[in-house]
Structure 1
Amino acid sequence: MKTLLNIVWFLFGGFWLALSYYLAGIVACLFIVTIPAGVASFRIANYMLWPFGRTVVAPTGGGTTMGAIANVIWFLVAGVWLAINHVITACALAVTIVGIPFAWANIKLIPITCFPFGKQIVSGDRIPFGYEPMIKM
């Protein structure tokens, strides 16, 4: 079932969302200071291609101060635009009855899009100790 969901996701929005994350990652890697943002963008792009069966987790105690600063910078530079991509894709998918669950999945991904630092993407059945699931697809 996960494979079927991933194929439909890939065909109806996942590919284009992943391309937007890859583009953001390439732009971020142009400057040495923003390479961590580029790496985070590439990680999320990989998740956008094949999300079902994986889970996004965050540490239970919260993140670091540096992670919070990086999240604010990411949000202002790329997070807003990538979140708008998710909203547009969700609106396009919600037009059909079959696309409504995928539209909801796009909306659930917006917090990860806006604040990626401190999050990890793991297999759905392998959540590390000390982490709580944020998004389970």
Structure 2
Amino acid sequence: MNLLLNIIWFILGGFIVFFGYLLGAVILCITIIGIPFGIQCFKLSMLAAAPFGKEIRDTDPPGGLLSIIMNIIWILLPGLELAIIHLCLAVVFGITIIGLPIAAQHLKMTRLALLPFGFRVVERY
């Protein structure tokens, strides 16, 4: 079922989200300062490629102060805008009953788009 839902996700615009995050990750990884943020964009792009069957969990051990500082910088630069975009897409897809699973995935990505440091994406069994 996850495979079918991931295919539908990719066709209905998931590929745009995937390539957007991938492009952002490559651009951020060009500079040394942007590498930590680029890695988080790679994490978001892998989630955007196939979000069904994956969940977001806290890292073990927790990130600590560095993770908090990096999240604050992330929110100030691209994070808030990305989270708002995912929320808007969740509202658009949530209008119909058929779009509710896709809206749920956008809400899941909103959490990671707002605070990517200190979280990891794992397969759900």
Task: Give the TM bin, normalised by the shorter chain.
Answer: 0.7 to 0.9
Partner secondary structure for residue 109 of structure 1 = helix
Identity over aligned pairs, percent: 34
Match of 2:115 in 1: 115
Bigger proportion of residues as helix: 2
Residue 52 of structure 1, CA deviation: 1.2
Match of 2:100 in 1: 100
1:121-136 equivalences in 2 (<5 Å): 121-125=121-125
Match of 1:9 in 2: 9
Match of 1:130 in 2: none
Partner secondary structure for residue 52 of structure 1 = coil
Q: Normalised by the size of structure 1, how large is the TM-score?
A: 0.80
Deviations 1:22-79 (A, max 9, x none): 2321332232112011011012101111011122210366422111111111111111
Cα RMSD of the aligned pairs, angstroms, is: 1.8
Partner letter of residue 54 of structure 2? R
**2:74, 2:30 → 1: CA distance?**
15
**2:18, 2:113 → 1: CA distance?**
12
Partner letter of residue 92 of structure 1? V
Partner letter of residue 38 of structure 1? G
**2:13, 2:61 → 1: CA distance?**
33
**1:83, 1:24 → 2: CA distance?**
15
Shift >2 Å, 4+ stretches: 59-63, 94-97
**1:6, 1:55 → 2: CA distance?**
14
List gaps (5 residues or longer) in structure 2.
none
Is 1:35 paired with 2:17? no
**2:11, 2:64 → 1: CA distance?**
37
Partner secondary structure for residue 117 of structure 1 = coil
Deviates more, 1:80-89 or 1:36-45: 80-89
Partner letter of residue 102 of structure 2? F
Match of 1:49 in 2: 49
Partner secondary structure for residue 83 of structure 1 = helix
Match of 1:133 in 2: none
1:61-100 equivalences in 2 (<5 Å): 62-100=62-100
